[in-house]
Structure 1
Amino acid sequence: MRLVASDIDGTILGHDGRISARTVRAFHACRDAGVEVVFVTGRPPRWLHPLQEQLGHTGTVICSNGAVVWDLEADRLVSARALELDAVLEVRRIIRRLRPAALFAAETLTGFHLEPGFMGTGSSGVLAEVTAAPLHETLRAGDAVVKFLAIVREGTADDFLAEVAPAVAHLAAATHSAPNLALLELSLPGVNKAVTLAEYAASLGVQAQDVVAFGDMPNDIEMLRWAGQGYAMASGHPEAILAAGQQAPHFDDDGVAQVLEAKLAALDVPLR
Structure 2
Amino acid sequence: MRLIATDLDGTIVRHDGTVSPRTAAALNDARAAGVALVLVTGRPTRWLAGLREALGSLGTAICSNGAVVYDDDAGRVLEASVLPVGDLVAARERVLTLAPDAVFAAETVAGLHLERGFASSRAEREGLAEEPFDAEALAAEGVVKLLARRPGGTCTEFERLVAPALDGLVALTHSAPGVPLIEMAAPGVDKAVTLARHAARLGVDPADVVAFGDMPNDVGMLSWAGRSYAVGDSQPRVVRAADHVIGTVEEDSVARVLESLLAVDRA
The alignment's TM-score, normalised by the length of structure 2, stands at: 0.96
Percent of residue pairs bearing the same amino acid type: 48
Q: Deviation string for 1:27-63 (max 9, x for gaps)? A: 0110111000000000111110122121113310000
In structure 2, the CA distance between the partners of 1:123 and 1:131, relative to structure 1 (3 Å rule), is: closer
State the 1:238 CA deviation. Answer: 2.6
Of the candidates 158, 174, 177, which is equivalent to residue 175 of structure 2? 177
Does the alignment pair 1:253 with 2:251? yes
Q: Deviation string for 1:110-166 (max 9, x for gaps)? A: 11111111125897311xx21211112783442210000000011110011111122
In structure 2, the CA distance between the partners of 1:140 and 1:160, relative to structure 1 (3 Å rule), is: closer
Q: Which residue number in structure 2 is paired with residue 211 of structure 1? A: 209
Q: Which residue number in structure 1 is paired with residue 52 of structure 2? A: 52
Provide the aligned C-alpha RMSD in A.
1.6
1:267 alignment partner, SS class: helix
Q: What amino acid maps onto 1:87 in structure 2?
A: D
CA distance in 1, matches of 2:227, 2:159: 27
Indicate conservation of the 8 Å contact 1:194/1:222, yes or no. yes
CA distance in 2, matches of 1:195, 1:231: 18
Q: What amino acid maps onto 1:261 in structure 2?
A: E
Does the alignment pair 1:10 with 2:10? yes
State the 1:22 CA deviation. Answer: 0.4
Indicate conservation of the 8 Å contact 1:113/1:139, yes or no. no
CA distance in 2, matches of 1:66, 1:204: 17
Q: Number of residue pairs matched?
A: 267
Does the alignment pair 1:125 with 2:125? yes
Q: Deviation string for 1:217-236 (max 9, x for gaps)? A: 00000000000001110332
Of the candidates 230, 233, 247, which is equivalent to residue 231 of structure 2? 233
* Structure 1 residue ranges without an equivalent (≥5): none
Q: Which residue number in structure 2 is paired with residue 158 of structure 1? A: 156
State the 1:250 CA deviation. Answer: 1.8
Indicate conservation of the 8 Å contact 1:85/1:143, yes or no. no
CA distance in 1, matches of 2:113, 2:78: 22
Indicate conservation of the 8 Å contact 1:39/1:61, yes or no. yes
Q: Which residue number in structure 2 is paired with residue 224 of structure 1? A: 222
State the 1:94 CA deviation. Answer: 0.4
Indicate conservation of the 8 Å contact 1:113/1:138, yes or no. no
Q: Which residue number in structure 1 is paired with residue 192 of structure 2? A: 194
Does the alignment pair 1:99 with 2:99? yes
* Structure 2 residue ranges without an equivalent (≥5): none
The alignment's TM-score, normalised by the length of structure 1, stands at: 0.94
Indicate conservation of the 8 Å contact 2:119/2:130, yes or no. no
In structure 2, the CA distance between the partners of 1:117 and 1:104, relative to structure 1 (3 Å rule), is: same
